[in-house]
Amino acid sequence: MTPPDTQATILGKRHRVTSPPAPPGEDSGEILLRFGPGIPADEQHALRARWREVPVPAAQPPRRRRRGWLISTAVVATAAVLLWLLLRPTPAPAVVAVQVQAPAGTLHCGQTADLVGVVTTDGQAGPVTYRWLRGDGQDSGELVRTAHKGERRLRVHLRWTVRGPGRFRGTARLRIAHQRTPMEAKAGFTYVCP
């Protein structure tokens, strides 16, 4: 058996820092190894000061900062104006008169009645909100027709198909709902199928 080698690492032995012996019962177990010649003590303070300094970025001239702020503000203001112009609600045209035209004559088996509502406006552009109310209880719900500038007469249709044998009197009302006082008109047709 060979005796343990006390100088297994020459570098470790050569650079081992000796510390005062630990009191009995305590062993720190720390070994400090250093490689290379190290930094001379007189340069250590200069190097530490250099590493601790944080370079401050050069400030932009005030005029350049102001110009960037003004350009950003102008772009945001322009975008806000464009959005307002595109999304603002358009006023509805005033409805002057409403009438409903029913098909002339009697409808026969399986035919469809085309009731035509004629809405007369003041010629302004905008949406006209209306609904058809059928005599059998059916409601079309709110419908919208957009009037163009100068368009005074709007035509809206209700197609009503009746099937099966029998005799039927159908009526429909056209109600314009977007005004303070709703306007309406009604018309009817007759269906006969033997």
Q: Which residues constitute the domain of residue 158? A: 95-193
Terminal CA-CA length for the chain: 126
The per-residue pLDDT for range 134-191, each reduced to its tens digit, is: 999 999 999 999 999 999 999 999 999 988 899 989 999 999 987 778 899 999 999 9
CA distances for 172 relative to 78, 183, 186, angstroms: 49, 14, 6
The per-residue pLDDT for range 32-62, each reduced to its tens digit, is: 676 777 777 777 777 777 777 666 666 666 6
Indicate whether 79 belongs to any domain. Answer: no
CB 154 within 8 A of CB 118: yes
Indicate whether 135 belongs to any domain. Answer: yes
Indicate whether 49 belongs to any domain. Answer: no
CATH number at residue 151: 2.60.40.10
Indicate whether 109 belongs to any domain. Answer: yes
Indicate whether 62 belongs to any domain. Answer: no
Indicate whether 107 belongs to any domain. Answer: yes
Indicate whether 30 belongs to any domain. Answer: no
Using CA atoms of 37, 43, 46, 48 in order, give the dihedral in degrees to the nearest 10.
30
Indicate whether 60 belongs to any domain. Answer: no
Written as one letter, the residue type at 2 is: T
Average pLDDT score over the chain: 82
| Domain tally, the chain | 1
CB 92 within 8 A of CB 129: yes
